């Protein structure tokens, strides 16, 4: 009976942790894509072109956050985690950018099917008409992923919750650490 309670608590905690991770990922990506959408809007406003697809930024971020979690389940980018942090950060950035690009290709093929163009029609549209949009999107995702995976790698190395403690909780820099206390004691003894 006690084992059954532990499994339920473990399952609920795991679900809550994954939901929080998903929401944090989605919030970061929504912020990043919204800033990029604002940038695009301001550039186009110079040419009197209206643009305001903030809803697309939100939907894209929600989908992308789920794609990242699927990639984590598949253990993508875990090959070089024992190297200095710059290497797994950049490696995961490249791997997950390619992972997202794969989903963009799948999205284009599905769009081709829905519009009656078939699989090849969706892919040819991506290769011709939407080529620059695809490349620009890949660049944005790549550069959004660099700080994203840098923080995740720091979290992996420092331990779960340490990054949030460092950023959110009050710093203890003003309080003397063990080495400073020892130095103060030595100075008092002199």
Is 12 contained in some domain?
yes
Shared domain for 99 and 145, answered yes or no, is: yes
Residue in 11, 97, 24, 31 with CA at minimum distance from that of residue 65: 24
pLDDT, the chain, mean:
84
How far apart (Å, rounded) are the C-alpha atoms in residues 186 and 150? 40
- What pLDDT score was predicted for residue 183? 54
How far apart (Å, rounded) are the C-alpha atoms in residues 74 and 94? 16
Q: Comparing 9 with 95, which gets the higher pLDDT?
A: 95
Would you say residue 6 has pLDDT above 60? no
Shared domain for 58 and 87, answered yes or no, is: no
- What pLDDT score was predicted for residue 166? 85
Shared domain for 80 and 145, answered yes or no, is: yes
Domain count, the chain: 2
Q: Which pLDDT tens digit goes with each residue over 27-72?
A: 999 998 898 889 888 999 999 998 878 888 899 899 999 999 999 9
In the structure, what pLDDT confidence band is assigned to residue 124 with cuts at 50, 70 and 90? Answer: confident
How far apart (Å, rounded) are the C-alpha atoms in residues 24 and 19? 9
How far apart (Å, rounded) are the C-alpha atoms in residues 99 and 85? 21
Q: Comparing 6 with 137, which gets the higher pLDDT?
A: 137
Would you say residue 77 has pLDDT above 60? yes
Shared domain for 99 and 155, answered yes or no, is: yes
Would you say residue 164 has pLDDT above 50? yes
Would you say residue 168 has pLDDT above 50? yes
Shared domain for 39 and 88, answered yes or no, is: no
Shared domain for 16 and 48, answered yes or no, is: yes
Is 47 contained in some domain?
yes
Is 178 contained in some domain?
no
Shared domain for 84 and 23, answered yes or no, is: no
Domain coverage including residue 25? 8-62
- What pLDDT score was predicted for residue 2? 47
Q: Which pLDDT tens digit goes with each residue over 172-187?
A: 654 455 555 555 555 5
Shared domain for 27 and 85, answered yes or no, is: no
Alpha helices by DSSP H, 51-117: 54-73, 86-114
Would you say residue 154 has pLDDT above 90? yes
- What pLDDT score was predicted for residue 187? 54
Shared domain for 43 and 80, answered yes or no, is: no
Is 44 contained in some domain?
yes
How far apart (Å, rounded) are the C-alpha atoms in residues 162 and 168? 10
How far apart (Å, rounded) are the C-alpha atoms in residues 95 and 142? 10
pTM of the full structure: 0.76
Shared domain for 92 and 125, answered yes or no, is: yes
Shared domain for 94 and 57, answered yes or no, is: no
Shared domain for 37 and 80, answered yes or no, is: no
Would you say residue 104 has pLDDT above 50? yes
- Average pLDDT of span 60-87: 92
- What pLDDT score was predicted for residue 1? 47
């Amino acid at each position: 009976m006690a084992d059954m309670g532990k499994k339920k608590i473990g399952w609920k905690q795991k679900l809550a942790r994954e939901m929080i991770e998903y929401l944090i990922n989605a919030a970061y990506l929504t912020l990043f894509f919204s800033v990029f959408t604002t940038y695009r809007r301001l550039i186009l406003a110079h040419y009197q072109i209206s643009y305001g697809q903030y809803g697309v930024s939100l939907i894209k971020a929600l989908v992308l956050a789920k794609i990242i979690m699927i990639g984590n389940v598949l253990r993508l980018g875990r090959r070089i985690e024992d190297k200095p942090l710059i290497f797994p950060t950049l490696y995961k950035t490249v791997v997950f950018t390619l992972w997202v690009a794969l989903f963009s290709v799948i999205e284009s093929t599905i769009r081709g099917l829905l519009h009656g163009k078939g699989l090849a029609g969706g892919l040819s549209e991506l290769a011709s008409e939407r080529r620059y949009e695809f490349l620009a999107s890949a660049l944005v995702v790549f550069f959004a992923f660099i700080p994203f995976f840098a923080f995740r790698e720091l979290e992996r190395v420092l331990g779960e919750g340490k990054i949030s403690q460092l950023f959110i909780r009050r710093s203890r820099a003003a309080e003397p650490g063990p080495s400073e206390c020892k130095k103060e004691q030595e100075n008092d003894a002199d």
